[in-house]
A and B are shown apart, each in its own frame.
Chain A
Amino acid sequence: MILSKWANGYRLFWLVTVTTSIAVVVKMGGLDMASPTDISSMIQFSVRCSVPWLYLAFAASSVLSLFPGSFGGWSKRNRRYLGFCYASAMAWQLTFILMMMTGHWTYYSDEVYAFGDIIVQVPGYLFLTAMTVTSFRPVRQLLSARHWNMLHTIGIYFLWGTVWSTYWYELYYYGDIQPIDYVYYWGGILAWGLRLWAWARARSELAADPLAQTGPA
């Protein structure tokens, strides 16, 4: 399978990052980047490029425990790099948000800004930055295993919740529904459902094996 042979580690990261960047630049070429509405559509486009990598990273370990196979192994092995792919695509989004804020503040505050968005976006970027930085060994070593796990568990749930709820609002609040909104809404549910299923199965297996619960005497 090509995934397990070629697209691994930093090679996967660069493949995705270069492809995403080319797509962003090509899309920008067809738009007027002096126009706030076009910058707004680039914000949306860069998020759409990032979402699959977040969902894959979110579900990676669950996929492996539920379906031990080459895809499960690949996604678990590359979970860190899937996270980097998400972070690199989100860097484009941050770039466009900053372009909007610096060049079109009035439009941003009138048309785009919402207090609820800020509540979610700022911690989201803080989590993403902290998770990315602590994915490198020298920084990771500064945290205990417990704190690292806590940061990455809370962080990935927060990021998933932020992204998934965006598509929930697209479907059930804004009304300007596009087919991709359904894909990302149900993709998010699938990723979360896999985690729930894996958790429930692990708990059930633990209950069925009393030795595993009590540990060796």
Chain B
Amino acid sequence: MGAASMLTGACLALFGLVGVSFGSLWAPGALQFFADHESWAQLELIVPFLPILMTATGVRLVVQSRQLGAKSRGAS
């Protein structure tokens, strides 16, 4: 469970960093998606933050799984 969580977190963080670094690959498509769906148009404001959120969530998962690992080592 801890290892899976850490791996998921690392992948999320990595994808987030790729998203931050290569916005030109995905940003036009994402902005177009929100522009095409009028009821979601205001959500366009969060598009720049998607890779930031991915990275933060990934780092949080990695830190949490390391904390769980440290706790279980302390308990045993």
User: Which A residues lie at the B interface, using CB under 8 A?
Assistant: 116, 119-120, 161, 164-165, 168-169, 171-173, 189, 192, 196, 200, 203-204, 206-208, 210
Report the Cα distance A203→B61, complex, angstroms: 12
Report the Cα distance A120→B56, complex, angstroms: 22
User: Which A residue sits closest to B22, measured CB to CB?
Assistant: A172
CB-defined contacts of A171 to chain B, threshold 8 Å:
23-24
CB < 8 Å A-B pair total: 46
Residues of B45-72 at the interface with A, using a CB-CB cut-off of 8 Å, are 45, 48-49, 52, 55-56, 59, 62-63, 66-67, 70-71
Contact B70 A207 (CB under 8 A): yes
Report the Cα distance A165→B62, complex, angstroms: 26
Question: How many B residues, CB 8 Å from partner?
Answer: 22
Contact A173 B45 (CB under 8 A): no
Say yes or no: A204-B66 contact (C-beta < 8 A), given A116-B42, A116-B45, A172-B23: yes
User: Which B residue sits closest to A210, measured CB to CB?
Assistant: B74
Interface centre among A171, A206, A207, A208 (most CB of B within 10 A): A207
CB-defined contacts of B67 to chain A, threshold 8 Å:
203-204, 206-207
Contact of B63 among A172, A204, A210 (CB under 8 A): A204
Report the Cα distance A208→B45, complex, angstroms: 39
Contact A196 B48 (CB under 8 A): no
User: Which B residue sits closest to A165, measured CB to CB?
Assistant: B48
Does B10 make an interface contact (CB < 8 A)?
no
Say yes or no: A207-B71 contact (C-beta < 8 A), given A172-B27, A200-B63: yes
Contact B44 A172 (CB under 8 A): no
Say yes or no: A207-B66 contact (C-beta < 8 A), given A172-B24, A189-B20: yes
Contact B20 A196 (CB under 8 A): no
CB-defined contacts of B24 to chain A, threshold 8 Å:
171-172
Distance (whole angstroms) from the CB of A22 to the closest CB of chain B: 33
13 additional contacts (CB under 8 A) given A164-B48, A196-B55: A119-B42, A161-B49, A165-B45, A169-B48, A171-B23, A172-B23, A172-B24, A172-B27, A172-B48, A196-B56, A196-B59, A203-B67, A210-B74
CB-defined contacts of B23 to chain A, threshold 8 Å:
168, 171-172
Contact of B45 among A119, A200, A206, A210 (CB under 8 A): A119
Report the Cα distance A186→B23, complex, angstroms: 12
Contact A165 B49 (CB under 8 A): yes
CB-defined contacts of B66 to chain A, threshold 8 Å:
204, 207
